[in-house]
Structure 1
């Protein structure tokens, strides 16, 4: 489908934000370490932290079952497969990865705009996209992580669902589950949408059954694990062994404030306080969605929040909250008030700069 002028402007906005973030990140590194970035390799190297290496290794070497290579079993395959597909074009796996995320981030902006326009006017729809791309952890939409690709499939699935295109909702949902594990939660969200339609029309719609396509991506990943490790749930074992994480009660996130007693202030903030604040903010937003948004969005918010909050040590909570995209719908609605709009914008940009700078310096930033 061709893009409208408004959508092209949003694409341009995404590219401008991306360029400014990369520039700011490089300046932060140069000032902090008193070292110039003099080559393309040096600049790209600033983006190669944490899980980036895992995705690039899967793209170039495939999955492994021994040593450090076994850790790759915990990462879903669609994103690294796309990297491998584009590597011959860009002659660099990392450049190919950045190309995938760039295309996906632009697609996210258009998809969210179209989803918003189903229920809101263009001004509100634009603001939702704006708040997504200035969210404090939105730099993950621009680096070699799955966030942009996953968020595109999720929002595209919601667009199809809201328009009654259940086949495409199932297809996009299956691609989401092949990108990230929480894509499976789309079943609950779309189930609620189907129940709402059934309540309003009193008619059973056989097209709802296309939702059954969503688990196919997850099932395929289990087959990959079974083929490689002899255990379809090997990725669960690997994640538990290496990242020492387990499900617990949601209020356990409060315990992470305890890191303030033994960690340095920078680590205590990113490993404790920030996590609790984002978990608490996600909870408040979930309650607000129950009042202001459709039930399917509330179900998506609530199920994602539970998965995030029930981790015994979820160091990535601020990043994972990005998937709770109805937050940006709520921000766009609240920002009809100019004072609220200014407060949300300043807060988002300040913390986006803080966390983005930390990531470029190689410090932990979710």
Structure 2
């Protein structure tokens, strides 16, 4: 079987496994529920609400301004036609996850793509969340930028910027890619500047997409801080020092204050683990002098550590394609000795089994409306 076809089978089987877990939860529920209900908890409700009613400026729903409009804009016309938004969102995520996996295949090979598809938090690339759609735009933008095809890369980056605030970090990382792009020895400074400028000017397109959304929020509310205000009101994302953010996360894990929130200690433990994975990747990429890839992860770690606590880092690992490229390289490394190959296959099998098990455990948490990051 060709590597591409193998990744396609992983995509299909992983999506079917997530569907099967949702069906099991529906069957075993203590009260009447449906498939569309179990895949529509947490942020899905906000995306569907925006697609249906737009952005409220008063009341509790005003916190929906924290969500960028890309996914709701895709959902809205189908909902207007009478189609269930939950199912449309699942289809969008299914297609987008396949597109993102194809880009990751280009960036890191079949193991990188396959392990991303069965990542522990893969449920967020299955339900109507923004992770799959953002990755489809961002991963292919990176592929095209590496090939020095900047105008299509800029358009895809603009698409990513309509989906998540992470698009701002993508613009910055691509800008660093431009600045660190190798040039022939002896290239004059003027030529270097012109080369940088010819590429960087394309990044004005995605920057304009971000500005357009913040301008829209200003038009709605009269405030340039409407987005940050919504983040703070809805998810307690107030500014904090990294030490305070980490200590408050540890307090959720070991302190008594959240004993009435079952499962929070486990999920926030994973937040710390995910943060550590990001730090490890930054160090790995620093050593390899992959500055743009390093910046893509590092700037997100900084942003997470400046919040009241570490939240949603688990989901962000799906966006960190350099992590999956690193893992893919390790999994596909060739060993000359029989013992080395045996250890590698054991490692591959263990990773797949554990990752799938955690993926399904995480999915059932989401389907039961438990806190799942």
**TM-score, length basis structure 1:** 0.88
Match of 1:164 in 2: 148
- SS of residue matched to 1:197: coil
- SS of residue matched to 2:128: coil
Q: Residues 298 and 313 (structure 1 numbering): CA distance in 2 closer, same or farther, change over 3 Å?
A: same
Match of 2:16 in 1: 19
Q: Is residue 44 from structure 1 mapped to residue 13 from structure 2 by the alignment?
A: no
Query: C-alpha distance in 2, partners of 1:171/1:110?
Result: 18
The CA deviation at 1:28 is: 4.3
The CA deviation at 1:35 is: 6.2
Match of 1:345 in 2: 352
* Greater Cα shift, 311-320 or 78-87: 311-320
- Which residues of 2 match residues 1-366 of structure 1 at below 5 A? 7=4, 10-28=7-25, 30-31=27-28, 33=29, 42-87=34-79, 91-116=83-108, 125-200=109-184, 202=187, 203-204=191-192, 205=195, 206-251=198-243, 252-259=245-252, 260-262=254-256, 263-264=258-259, 266-292=262-288, 294-335=290-331, 336=333, 337-366=344-373
Query: Can you list the C-alpha shifts for 1:78-98, whole angstroms capped at 9, x where unaligned?
Result: 110001133356711222212
The CA deviation at 1:274 is: 1.8
Query: C-alpha distance in 2, partners of 1:170/1:217?
Result: 11
The CA deviation at 1:105 is: 1.1
The CA deviation at 1:20 is: 1.0
Provide the aligned length of Structure 1 versus Structure 2.
349
Q: Residues 271 and 343 (structure 1 numbering): CA distance in 2 closer, same or farther, change over 3 Å?
A: closer
Q: Is the 8 A contact 2:160 2:167 kept in 1?
A: yes
Query: C-alpha distance in 1, partners of 2:45/2:370?
Result: 15
The CA deviation at 1:290 is: 2.2
Query: C-alpha distance in 2, partners of 1:187/1:199?
Result: 21
Q: Residues 66 and 113 (structure 1 numbering): CA distance in 2 closer, same or farther, change over 3 Å?
A: same
The CA deviation at 1:354 is: 1.7
Q: Is the 8 A contact 1:17 1:133 kept in 2?
A: yes
The CA deviation at 1:29 is: 5.3
Give the CA RMSD over aligned residues: 2.2
The CA deviation at 1:187 is: 2.5
The CA deviation at 1:177 is: 1.3
The CA deviation at 1:349 is: 1.9
Query: C-alpha distance in 2, partners of 1:212/1:291?
Result: 31
Q: Residues 297 and 24 (structure 1 numbering): CA distance in 2 closer, same or farther, change over 3 Å?
A: same
* Greater Cα shift, 270-279 or 219-228: 270-279
Larger of the two Rg values belongs to structure:
2
Unpaired segments of 5 or more residues in structure 2? 334-343
Query: C-alpha distance in 2, partners of 1:94/1:25?
Result: 13
Unpaired segments of 5 or more residues in structure 1? 117-124
Query: Can you list the C-alpha shifts for 1:247-298, whole angstroms capped at 9, x where unaligned?
Result: 3333432431212222338434245322112111221122122234732211
* Greater Cα shift, 198-207 or 289-298: 198-207
Query: C-alpha distance in 2, partners of 1:11/1:320?
Result: 23
